[in-house]
Amino acid sequence: MKKESNTIENAFNYDKFYKLNKTVTGETFELQLTGYKVVRDNEALPAVLIYYTFKNNSEEEMSANDTYLDISQASAMPDGDTYISQAYFEYASLTDTDNELIQNADKYVGQSETIDCIDGWKLRNNVNPVNLIFFDENDEVIDTVMIDVEKGLPAGTDHL
């Protein structure tokens, strides 16, 4: 029996939501990470959507995009590169709700107000976890969160 080759098409359980329950608190904000799922971006490549509720704890208006975040995923190749870039979804097939939540990350909210948001990032592979590192205004690490994208692999899938 010939083994099916591994492709981007069968490398993930696309559009399956996985719950998270993690709160990250900085001096001026609080993020309640609620879940993630793997989708296809504008280029039909795999990207991870991270769902969260943003709370403004500052006295000034701010948006979720005003928080300090570094995101990485180890390469499956020996190049040592861990950088992953933000994904874009203007032409992707997302739900209306997901499209609205992506736009919410740019909206400013007042003190003590909350807003539900999504951020999306391109994936390098389906093997290594995505690492989120949160910083305060002084570039000190507040917290780290690991998202296990391998958890979403279909049974019998090879690694990309």
Q: What is the pLDDT along the chain (160 residues), one digit of tens a residue?
A: 444 445 566 677 788 899 999 999 999 999 999 999 999 898 888 999 999 999 999 999 999 999 888 888 887 777 777 888 888 888 788 888 999 999 999 999 999 999 999 999 999 888 888 999 999 888 899 999 999 887 655 555 444 4
Predicted TM-score (pTM) of this structure: 0.86
Q: Is 27 exposed, middle or buried (0-12, 13-18, 19+ CB in 10 A)?
A: exposed
CATH dotted code for 20-152? 2.60.40.1240
Q: Residue ranges per domain, the chain?
A: 20-152
44 close to 104: Cβ distance less than 8 angstroms: no
User: Residue 114 and residue 18: Cα distance in Å, rounded?
Assistant: 22
Distances (CA, A) of 64 to 77, 84, 113, 143: 33, 19, 11, 16
User: Residue 48 and residue 72: Cα distance in Å, rounded?
Assistant: 12
41 close to 99: Cβ distance less than 8 angstroms: no
Beta bridge partners of 119: 50
